[in-house]
Amino acid sequence: MPKPPYRRVAVIGVGLIGGSVALALRQRGLAKRVIGVVRSADRVQRVLDCGVVDEATADLESACGGADLVVVTTPVDSIARMAVEAAQHAAPDALVTDGGSTKAAIVAAIDAHWPTDGDGLAFVGAHPLAGGHLSGPDAARADLFEAAVTVLTPSAATPAAALRRARQFWEGLGSTVVEMSPERHDQLVALTSHVPHVAAAAVAATTPAEALALAATGWADTTRVAAGSPELWREILLANAAPIADGLRRLGQELEAYAAALDAGDGDAIQRLLEEGRQRRDALGS
Amino acid sequence: MPKPPYRRVAVIGVGLIGGSVALALRQRGLAKRVIGVVRSADRVQRVLDCGVVDEATADLESACGGADLVVVTTPVDSIARMAVEAAQHAAPDALVTDGGSTKAAIVAAIDAHWPTDGDGLAFVGAHPLAGGHLSGPDAARADLFEAAVTVLTPSAATPAAALRRARQFWEGLGSTVVEMSPERHDQLVALTSHVPHVAAAAVAATTPAEALALAATGWADTTRVAAGSPELWREILLANAAPIADGLRRLGQELEAYAAALDAGDGDAIQRLLEEGRQRRDALGS
């Protein structure tokens, strides 16, 4: 049996993404030992009970000591701090990567505070486009990243060798890797993830409670992501504020175009707008 | 075996809803004979091949002759015309009902042109809140109305006996019946169905094609209904223009509230807005 590529992996933040990273590493025989780092000691047992990690602790320093791979999957507002702290304890050649759904602010903060400038220890920002309607380590799945895209967001400070290792890691979990700048990533996910999330929450909030008896599958689908955690999404939206605000105003203009066409009884204009939406929707598939 | 309650049923428009009405009537033993009325003669064979009706024809007059139940499930812009024409040929005590997703304009047009003012032959507007991502008679299901709500929208012209019969019919297909005025129905579905449809189409249209590689389940859910037929939805939106335009402008204000909070970096305001969306979403369930 070949030696696992990673000796000691620290997964900081064991929720859906972190738990799935840990499970996938273990089930694919990619890591000798996976240590989960939790927020506080009272969470250790819960994470152990989920069976996703070999070991769990609230002590980041001891978990990262000697680790050759660190994966930071905490909420976006703490990723940079955790990554820099982990780097101070990890092995000198460790790869540090993350799972944050915004990238520019995180990558810039890490570049600014990174403890070394050698070619060994390095951070490579990543965003696995995986998830679902469930959260927490109980929902973790070893196959979460299969058929998913992971975006890697190297900066000018990213060594080429580290980028290759990060690609190998995320492909090793089953995902398809694409690379782009942190800024480009944030602009695109503002439109594919953050604006749709706000739109879903806004549609839900502007539906009066007494109308819900008439809500069918269309309303349920359109608003589904609004069930996500407001605490987590607050930080995601704040970390990518300008592209999202732009996207929301562009969406507002599109809604006003419909409203104006409805005021004017202009069926052709309405159909043209609907065709544009359907074409883009059909380009994705179900 | 008890006699089926309906001798001869004409279903005008054999798509997903009409086909499912026909299938449900036959599988539940509620009709002796179900005749599907299609738009043109070249569609007869296709509908027969689906096996949802006993007979299919493009001749509305012959199909409705002697019918004691007529169900009009054509697109909303032709329902009133079809219902009035059907009434001229149906049995003198026939119940005519429909499946249109807008009601005020349809009910008013039918009331204005109804051929009799007796207590026998009568129209009762209905909107079964059933459907899905598929359309056409191939997608018809006998259980489509089970666990669905059907809204009945009586007007001042609706005889009480006809309303009872319409309730019996739609409950007989497995749905839960609620009653409200056509105007109230249209105001509520503007918010639970029409505004979400436009929002989905607008989110899809404002996502650049090059961003779709980063679209994950959130985008797919939020935009799913935008795959619906622009031709059908054009007529639905036009038939309920004012409440939808109001709802879209209210939604636009909500999006602007998020954009302003993002501009200001006001995390508390963002979280408050997200909480409102989640509360309303959670009130529905998955």
Number of inter-chain CB pairs under 8 A, A vs B:
322
pLDDT tens column, A107-154 = 999 999 999 766 689 999 999 998 776 788 999 999 999 989 999 999
The mean per-residue pLDDT over the stretch B61-69 comes to 97
- Mean pLDDT over each residue of chain A, to the nearest integer: 95
- Res B1: pLDDT: 53
* Identity of the amino acid at A162: A
Measure in Å the smallest separation between the Cα of B2 and chain A Cα atoms.
34
- pLDDT for B229 beyond 70: yes
- Res B119: pLDDT: 65
Measure in Å the smallest separation between the Cα of B175 and chain A Cα atoms.
13
- Res A131: pLDDT: 76
Contacts of B212 in chain A (CB under 8 A): 192, 280, 283-284
**Alpha helices per DSSP H over B58-181:** 60-64, 76-87, 104-113, 160-172
- pLDDT for B281 beyond 90: yes
Q: In chain A, positions 79-138, which contact chain B (CB-CB < 8 Å)?
A: 129-133
Measure in Å the smallest separation between the Cα of A70 and chain B Cα atoms.
24
Contact A237 B258 (CB under 8 A): yes
- Res B173: pLDDT: 97
- pLDDT band at A285, cuts 50/70/90? confident
- pLDDT for B2 beyond 70: no
Q: How many CA atoms lie within 13 A of A199 on its CB side?
A: 37
Distance CA A17, CA B74 (A): 47
- pLDDT band at B284, cuts 50/70/90? confident
The mean per-residue pLDDT over the stretch B137-152 comes to 94
Distance CA B166, CA B173 (A): 11
- pLDDT for A1 beyond 60: no
- pLDDT for A90 beyond 90: yes
- Mean pLDDT over each residue of chain B, to the nearest integer: 95
ipTM of the complex model? 0.87
Of residues B207, B235, B274, nearest to A201 (C-beta): B274
What are the strands, taking DSSP E only, across B106-148? 122-124, 126-128
Distance CA A47, CA A53 (A): 8
Name the least confident of A2-11, A68-77, B93-102. A2-11
The mean per-residue pLDDT over the stretch A53-75 comes to 97
Contacts of B75 in chain A (CB under 8 A): none
- pLDDT band at B65, cuts 50/70/90? very high
- pLDDT for A30 beyond 90: yes
The full set of domains in chain A, from first to last, is 6-180 (3.40.50.720), 184-284 (1.10.3660.10)
Say what percent of chain A tops pLDDT 70: 97
Q: Is A269 on the interface with B (CB under 8 A)?
A: no
Beta-strand pair A122-124/A69-72: unpaired
Closest A-chain CA to B265: A238
Distance CA B7, CA B117 (A): 23
- pLDDT band at A3, cuts 50/70/90? confident
Q: Is A238 on the interface with B (CB under 8 A)?
A: yes
pLDDT tens column, B80-104 = 999 999 999 999 999 999 999 999 9
- pLDDT for B241 beyond 80: yes
The mean per-residue pLDDT over the stretch A212-227 comes to 93
